[in-house]
Amino acid sequence: MIAGCGPAPGGSDGGAGSSGDGKTASATLKDLKKLQVKGRAPMTGYDRDKFGPAWSDVDGNGCDTRNDILIRDLKEETFRKGEDGCVVQSGVLEDPYSGKTIKFERGTRSSMAVQIDHVIALADAWQKGAQQLSASKRRELANDPLNLMAVDGPLNGQKGAGDAATWLPPRRAYRCPYVERQIRVKIKYDLWVTSAERDAMEGVLKSC
C-alpha cells in the first residue's frame, strides 16, 4: 500500500493509490475541485439542536444512530439484555485515527474511551453552508453514517470542530481515507471549503 492510504472503518482497504472508497487519489483530487472555496460564515445562530435531536433513529430500524455506528465499527460486540440487540454493552475498536485497539465498555466514565466523531464537525459545517440547509437536511447530515465514525475518544476531543487545515488523524496511514470521506460529505451536502482547508486536503491527497 502506498504511504498515506489505509484501511477504512470495518477493515475495508482502498488499495494502493486509493483514498479509501475505491477511488484513486487523482479522482478524489478532481472531486475536491468541485467544491466551492469561500471564507467561513459567522457562527451566529449555531446550536447543536439546529441539527435535530442527538442520535435520532433516523432510519427507523429501532436503534439510535450512535448504537448503529458502534454496531458497524466495533468487533466482538455484546448487547444489553432486553434491548433487542440495539444497545452495545461492550466491544473492540480498531481505531482508524490512532491505529490502537481500544476496548469499549458502556458506563458513565468508560464509554468516553470510544466516541462517535462527525467527520465534518457540525459547528464547522454550520460555517460552511449548513446554515442554508433545511432542518431536515441538517438532521440527515448529523446522522449520516458517511459522516460518522467510532474513534478514540481523546482524539475526538482533540479534533473538536477542526477541519483538515487544523486537524488530521495522527495515524498518517489513515489521512487519505479521512480526507476523501470529508470531501464526499461536503459534495453530498453542498458544503464549501476554505482556501487553507482545500490546500491541506490537496497536500494529503498528493501524498497518497
**Tens digit of each residue's pLDDT, the chain (208 residues):** 233 333 444 443 333 344 455 578 899 999 999 999 999 999 999 999 999 999 989 888 889 999 999 999 999 999 988 767 789 999 999 999 999 999 999 987 778 899 999 999 999 999 999 999 999 999 999 999 999 999 999 999 999 999 999 999 999 999 999 999 999 999 999 999 999 999 999 999 999 9
HSE-up of residue 117 (Cα within 13 Å, Cβ side): 29
Cα 163 from Cα 40, distance rounded (Å): 11
Q: Which residues contact 203 (CB under 8 A, 6 or more apart)?
A: none
- What pLDDT was estimated at residue 13? 38
* HSE, side-chain direction, 13 A CA sphere, residue 88: 27
What pLDDT does 62 receive?
A: 87
pTM: 0.87
The whole-angstrom separation of Cα 167 and Cα 67 is: 26
Distance CA 176, CA 189 (A): 20
- Give residue 21's pLDDT: 59
